[in-house]
Amino acid sequence: MGRSMRAKQADFFEKDREVGPRRSVHGGATGIGRRKVARPLDVRKPVHVVLKSSHAVGKMSLLSIANKLVIEKIVRERAEKYAVVVQGFELMRNHLHLIARFKSRLLFQQFLKTVTGLIARHVTGARKGKPFGKRFFDELAFTRVVQGFKDLRGLIDYFKKNQIERDIHPLARVAIEKQEAAARKAKAWLRRRSKKLSAVTVKTPPQ
């Protein structure tokens, strides 16, 4: 195989991180319909993990009083057991985000398997002889190898934004949405008026 062919293949795999040997993404919606392959892992880089459930509403919300502290405890204790370094954690109503470093593929797999299983069992109340009857999490855990400091900083900023949105009171959120809608309406009106003034200026005959 010539050098140019190898270069083209390298470029292709560099761009398509979902399917190439240097891919960084696995699971979630990206994993639907794909053949089973090992999760990407680089022990030198953090991994962004997302677990999402459409069943997490009402009493099964991840943020409910009965669930929030228990889920945080599960993640904390399993991280300690499997030598996982947690760099970021954000719990939302129907999903959670985690940024963590893993020392080996085995520890990575064990952590994901036990955390997803324990959270699902606690939230649904499933136990031996009384199963939930369906999958709690929508898909396989989504994981993505974080690429550099800029990528990591962007994720942490996203976590902060999520936290702000989560902590806003519902009535305050409605008020904010109304203000944003009014601002968009005002901008649209100004754009239309500006176009009309421009049209009038063009049509005005020279003196």
At residue 133, the pLDDT reads 78
Task: Annotate 12-42 with b (16+ C-beta within 10 A) or e (fewer).
Answer: eeeeebeeeeebbbbbbebbeeeeeeebbbe
Show me where the domains of the chain are located: 3-167, 169-207
At residue 200, the pLDDT reads 67
List, for residues 112-137, the tens digit of each pLDDT value: 999 999 999 999 988 877 777 788 88
**DSSP, residue by residue, 107-150:** HHHHHHHHHHHHHHHHHHT-BTTB--SS-SSSSSPEEEE--HHH
pTM: 0.61
The percent of residues in the chain predicted with pLDDT above 90, rounded, is 25
Contact 25, 147 (CB under 8 A): no
Residue 163 pLDDT more than 80?
A: no
List, for residues 75-94, the tens digit of each pLDDT value: 999 999 999 999 888 888 89
Burial of 72 by CB count in 10 Å (0-12 exposed, 13-18 middle, 19+ buried)? Answer: middle
List, for residues 32-54, the tens digit of each pLDDT value: 445 466 777 888 899 999 999 99
**DSSP, residue by residue, 153-199:** HHHHHHHHHHHHHHHS-HHHHHHHHHHHHHHHHHHHHHHHHHHHHHH
Residue 153 pLDDT more than 50?
A: yes
Superfamily of domain 3-167: Transposase IS200-like (3.30.70.1290)
Nearest to 146 by CA among 113, 99, 182: 99
